[in-house]
Amino acid sequence: MPTQLRHFEEELDQLKSKLLAMSALVEAAVYRSITAVVQKDRKLAEEVLQNEVRVNQWELEIDDQAISLLALQQPMAGDLRLITSAIKINNDLERMGDLAVNIAQRAIALMDDPMVQPMIDIPRIGGLVQQMVRKALDAFVARDVELAREVMTSDDEVDSLRTVFFQELISFMQNEPAHIPQALNLLSIVRTLERIADHSTNIAEDVLYYVKGIDVRHRAEAVAGAGSKEPRG
Amino acid sequence: MPTQLRHFEEELDQLKSKLLAMSALVEAAVYRSITAVVQKDRKLAEEVLQNEVRVNQWELEIDDQAISLLALQQPMAGDLRLITSAIKINNDLERMGDLAVNIAQRAIALMDDPMVQPMIDIPRIGGLVQQMVRKALDAFVARDVELAREVMTSDDEVDSLRTVFFQELISFMQNEPAHIPQALNLLSIVRTLERIADHSTNIAEDVLYYVKGIDVRHRAEAVAGAGSKEPRG
């Protein structure tokens, strides 16, 4: 193998390793933030806040390396898809890291507040979202298209759990107006979990694009004229 | 100028034009969705829903063209920054389009509901966010670094208006439990506006990067160890 090519392969491997390190950090942040809410664990919440700087540093490093690979080399087909997917996945991971920070902050806000209301479905929604994060990242590592599709299916499940949760929360607030601020914190946590789920779905879509060259964003809807949803349909 | 280079310049211009067409669509969607809420205008809300497919089609086209420019040409320095910024701005614009759809859907949900509560600061926050969207896009077109910085300053103003709004909304819900569902719709609109503001800030950051080669994400915090916020610090 010519030296230049070997060098390129090494840099690609490095890029993948960095993305894995970043995803391990973000996965841990999501796990800790959910556990901090459910188990009222202040230490875990604080760890999430402390680790954010590291997540952000990885984001910059990965971006810089990906862009320099695009600039200095002339990657083709599969490699090009890997690098552009890496840029997108990196972006999603960083946002998931920020969302975990938001949850950790809510966990701290709720810490000294005796829970007057059972947390209803938060542990269940949280568990499901955590699984989605893990599966999306595993799908990327293993180039596993089936696993990526499972992530997309779970997203619908999160949406329907969320709907039930909202109904229950509205009744609770109407019956216990004094506890509305607490209820709004729970609402915010569930919305944030939903957004983490959406980012996992984005990553799953990127895996499909990277492995198969299929771009699943909006393709069906462009034909059917159906709507999409945030962050990315 | 050699033919290949001229061709590259033409494609770059095309990419910029497409991004401008997309941003005009998204800016209109944000404007219409806010006006639909404030003026209870169902027609405007429905236009936002209808135009979403076009926004999504532009997103795919811009992404495809940017990636093929990266693959087939070997852009250097400034051009490379333009293309990678285009990919990121495109992504933010698409998400802003989705968020405008969310607001339009809330506008429709609130349409037949007599407003029992004055909308407090929604018109004011909405106006400010609309200005941020416009300035961020103008900054991109004109490569105007000062304008980009103005966007970043406005983001703080949105955050403080939001805090006041939340306090008022909590009192309202406690006094009028029957109207909690309506209040939650307003809450969701303000949160969504805040996210549109954050995406505008992202675009302003991309403009700084594109024009000056400065990456403002997390640079300060990496030194100071401070936190960041969603979507991108």
Q: In A52-67, which positions are buried (b, 16+ CB within 10 angstroms) versus exposed (e)?
A: bbebbebbbebbebbb
A181 reaches B (C-beta below 8 A): yes
The pLDDT tens digits for B104-149 are: 999 999 998 777 666 668 888 999 999 999 999 899 888 999 999 9
Q: What is the mean pLDDT of residues A127-134?
A: 93
Which value does ipTM take for this structure?
Answer: 0.77
Whether A58 is covered by a domain: the verdict is yes
CATH number of the domain at B193, please. Answer: 1.20.58.220
**Chain B interface, best mutation among A47, A49, A70, A202, by max B CB count within 10 A:** A70
| A66 falls within a domain | yes
- As a whole number, mean pLDDT of residues B29-41 equals 93
CA of A174 vs chain B CAs: smallest distance (Å): 5
Return the structure tokens found at A224. 């059917």
Contact A16, A69 (CB under 8 A): no
Instruction: Tell me, yes or no, whether A133 lies in a domain.
Output: yes
Q: Which residue of B has its CA nearest to A226?
A: B53
pLDDT, mean of residues A149-167: 91
Per-residue pLDDT at B219: 56
The answer to the question of residue B230 being in a domain is no
- Whether residue B229 lies inside any domain: the answer is no
Interface with chain A: mutation pick from B65, B94, B189, B191, highest number of A CBs within 10 Å = B94
pTM for the model stands at 0.83
pLDDT tens for A95-118 read: 999 999 999 999 999 998 777 666
On whether any CB of chain B is under 8 Å from the CB of A189, the answer is no
**Spatial contact of B26 and B57, defined as CB atoms under 8 Å apart:** no
- The answer to whether A124 touches A161, Cβ cutoff 8 Å, is yes
Residue A226, pLDDT score: 37
Chain B: closest CA distance from residue A195 (Å): 11
Instruction: For chain A, give the mean pLDDT.
Output: 85
Task: Give the pLDDT of residue B87.
Answer: 87
User: How many domains does one find in chain B?
Assistant: 1
In-domain check, residue A99: yes
Residue A215 in this model has a pLDDT that exceeds 60: yes
Asked if residue B46 is part of any domain, the answer here is yes
Domain boundaries, position B207: 3-224
Kindly state whether residue B98 falls inside one of the protein's structural domains: yes
> What is the C-alpha to C-alpha distance for residues A178 and A163, in angstroms, rounded to an integer?
23
In this complex, the residue of A67, A95, A187 whose CB is nearest that of residue B80 is: A67
Residues in A touching B225 (Cβ below 8 Å) = 53
Across the interface, do A232 and B95 touch by the CB < 8 Å criterion?
A: yes
Check pLDDT > 60 for residue B220: no
